[in-house]
Amino acid sequence: MSTLVEDNPAKHRFEILIDDALAGFTAYLARGEVLVFTHTEVDRSFQGKGVGSTLMRGTLDQLRERGTKVVPQCPFMAAFIDKHPEYADLVADLP
């Protein structure tokens, strides 16, 4: 099973593809150098399999590499960061 997390700037979201099928996404709004994450969704057929966590890790790791901060308005992302304090340094205040 192949897994890929990638930014889709045209749709303003990071997507997770599993075996080339869209399994979920986390949507954002760009506010300068900060991304405000508003919604995360995982396809029902992939729920309960760790896809959401893999999407969060992939998204946040890529943003760390870019030097981009996040505002986790999405409850799923906010809860993920609360449970994984190694990502807390990426959180910014809303600009």
Q: Do 20 and 2 form a contact (C-beta atoms < 8 A)?
A: yes
What pTM value is reported for the model? Answer: 0.94
What does the pLDDT read at residue 1? 78
Residues 95, 91: Cα–Cα separation, whole Å? 12
Residues 6+ apart with CB under 8 A from 51: 16, 18, 23, 24, 42
Residues 94, 39: Cα–Cα separation, whole Å? 16
Please name the residue that has the structure tokens 């057929």.
45
What does the pLDDT read at residue 94? 73
pLDDT tens over the chain, length 95 residues? 799 999 999 999 999 999 999 999 999 999 988 999 999 999 999 999 999 999 999 999 999 999 999 999 999 999 999 999 999 999 998 76
What is the token pair recorded at 3? 């897994």
Which amino acid belongs to residue 83?
K
Q: H-helix or E-strand containing 93?
A: none
